[in-house]
């Protein structure tokens, strides 16, 4: 049976991001799609939040972290986001699609896709 997943689509954050001098004084928009591999059976049986991932609270932590830092590369933002998600005890793995709209002229968006799994 395939693993259960919780997903969040289109999480918007604004942060200082970029390697070029003209990017450093402004906040730019990043858009994240997240998928968390989680066993949803306990929450389905109990109907209790403590038996799953509080995705609202997790998204607030992600937004707070990204918006309070500055970054050179979107790769670093994606990796730090994956580490934060994997701190959740119920999350076994995460897939992140991170986009930086407007980064390339004549392209709607550019981005990275990473997948990370809990080790150990």
User: Is residue 29 a contact partner of residue 66, using CB atoms and an 8 Å limit?
Assistant: no
Question: How many domains does the structure of the chain reveal?
Answer: 1
Decide which of 120 and 59 is more confident: 59
Q: Domain containing 81: what range?
A: 5-117
Per-residue pLDDT reduced to its tens digit, 65-96: 999 999 999 999 999 999 999 999 999 999 99
DSSP 8-state code for residue 3? P
Considering only CA atoms, which of 38, 34, 35 is closest in space to residue 51? 38
Tell me, what CATH number does 84's domain have?
A: 3.30.1130.10
Q: Which residues are catalytic?
A: 100
Q: What is the pTM of this model?
A: 0.92
Cα separation of 46 and 1, whole Å? 21
Note the pLDDT of residue 24: 86
Note the pLDDT of residue 23: 87
Considering only CA atoms, which of 113, 93, 88, 101 is closest in space to residue 33? 113
Mean pLDDT (whole number) for 46-66: 97
């Amino acid at each position: 049976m395939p693993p259960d997943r919780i997903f969040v689509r289109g999480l918007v954050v604004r942060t200082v991001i970029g390697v070029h001098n003209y990017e450093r004084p402004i906040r730019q928009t990043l858009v994240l799609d997240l998928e968390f591999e989680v066993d949803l059976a306990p929450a389905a049986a109990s109907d209790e939040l403590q038996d799953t991932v509080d995705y609202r609270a997790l998204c607030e932590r992600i937004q707070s972290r990204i918006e309070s830092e500055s970054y050179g590369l979107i790769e670093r933002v994606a990796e730090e986001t994956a580490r934060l998600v994997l701190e959740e005890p119920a999350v076994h793995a995460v897939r992140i699609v991170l986009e930086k709209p407007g980064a390339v002229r004549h392209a709607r968006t550019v981005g990275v896709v990473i997948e990370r799994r809990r080790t150990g």
